[in-house]
Amino acid sequence: MTLAAATNEHLANISNTLIYSAMAVYTLAFFAYITEWLFGSRSKVGRTAAALTEPRTSTTSKAAAPAVTVKKAGGTAVLERPKVVVRSSAGSRDVPDGPGAHGGDAQGDLYGRIAVSLTALAFLVEAGGVLARALSVERAPWGNMYEFNITFSTVAVGVYLTLLALKKNIRWLGLFLITTVLLDLGLAVTVLYTASAQLVPALHSYWLYIHVSTAILCGAVFYVGAVATLLYLFKDSYENKLAGGGTPGRFAASFLERLPASATLDKFSYRVNAAVFPLWTFTIIAGAIWAGDAWGRYWGWDPKETWSFITWVAYAGYLHARATAGWKGRKAAYLALLAFGCWLFNYYGVNIFVSGKHSYAGV
């Protein structure tokens, strides 16, 4: 074995170790998110509302806001504390908006911040594993399904952490994200694992970096939008039951009251899907250009090309429906989940069960 081969094998082992280490840290983050949900930490909106609206008693902590005082003509007038409506938008529903807005405590919030810190640590470890894999194969680490999976999960967590860094109130997404990331990595290291190897000649192109990197980013953002859409359907049903005078079960109430309002979830999923849709369009165009260079034709209705186009049509239909008054809400949400289902089949189904020009990577 040459020195270069030994070095590459060593880097591959380091990559595997880092991926397993990331899974361990993600597991700790998962339990921290579970603990946060058990305590029911409040969002910033929920904490502000509680401080302004909770009755003032002799036992109230100093953190609670005092009554508003106004000095006037040498005297002091005491006014009532303002009432804060905690909901996502104007409408008939007056529902708390944000994780734990219905209740919670500082301890739950502490576990939530610990969970985010562990998620960030796991992200850095996993990113190191992806980088080590790239160095071991001396190329972009997207040549097979194993490499795509570990990169996809890394980018998905990166999208979540970026939104948190931008002060978006989406910590409620953490538990669901980390759960599926652990499943994704478990599938990658057990079923999809492929030893380091070089690419077939068709993939030796700078378009690999352009086309596949944008596909991974689009998939990660589509995934975040799909989770929000699924939670929207549950929260909307819960709010409809309350509005109709029904009494949800204890578990449903405990779980769903800690999610943002359905209108907030609907708006969030729409915005992330709409933001990344132009990039998905570019991904398909870039793939067509790469196909022209590699195979001498821009479009040949290969299964991967076909399902990429079907996914594009599905998301275009969702965005159009979402902008149409008669198709807002649940109908549009079903279309969004159908579109993400097309994306999932385009990746897993086509790669595993359908043969075509994109089958060279195997698993």
Per-residue pLDDT tens for 147-191?
Answer: 889 999 999 999 999 999 988 888 888 999 999 999 999 999 998
Report the alpha-carbon distance of residue 185 to residue 148 in Å, rounded: 11
Q: Quick one: pLDDT at residue 122? A: 97
Q: CA–CA separation, 64 vs 300, rounded Å? A: 65
Higher-pLDDT residue of 59, 298: 298
Q: Is the pLDDT of residue 298 over 90?
A: no
What radius of gyration do the chain's Cα atoms show?
24
Range with the poorest average pLDDT among 56-70, 159-173, 255-269:
56-70
pLDDT at 76: 55
pLDDT at position 103: 44
Q: Which of 40-54, 99-113, 193-207, 294-308 ranks highest by mean pLDDT?
A: 294-308
pLDDT band, residue 275 (cuts 50/70/90)? very high
Write the burial class of residue 90 (CB in 10 Å: 0-12 exposed, 13-18 middle, 19+ buried): exposed
Sign of the alpha-carbon dihedral angle for 20, 25, 30, 34: positive
CA torsion 335-340-344-347 (nearest 10°) is 110
User: Stretch 238-251: mean pLDDT, rounded?
Assistant: 80
pTM for this predicted structure? 0.78
Which of 261, 268, 267 is CA-nearest to residue 239? 261
Q: Does 64 or 239 have the greater pLDDT score?
A: 239
Distance of alpha carbon 167 from alpha carbon 233, whole angstroms: 25
Residues 6+ apart with CB under 8 A from 86: 45, 46, 49, 95, 96, 97, 98, 101
Q: Please give the Cα distance from 117 to 23 (Å, whole number).
A: 15
The number of beta carbons lying within 10 Å of the beta carbon of residue 123 is 23
Alpha-carbon torsion (150, 32, 168, 318), positive or negative: positive
| pLDDT range class, residue 96, cuts 50, 70, 90 | very low
pLDDT at 280: 94
pLDDT over 70, % of the chain:
75
Residue spans of alpha helices (H) in 170-295: 174-190, 207, 213-243, 250-256, 262-295
**CA dist., res. 99 & res. 260, Å (int):** 6
3-state secondary structure of 333: helix
Distance between terminal CA atoms of the chain?
Answer: 26
- What does the pLDDT read at residue 202? 63
- Contacts with 183 (C-beta within 8 Å, 6 or more apart), sequence order: none
pLDDT at 10: 84
Residue type, 133: R
**pLDDT, average across residues 192-197:** 79
Local confidence band at 212 (pLDDT 50, 70, 90 cut-offs): confident
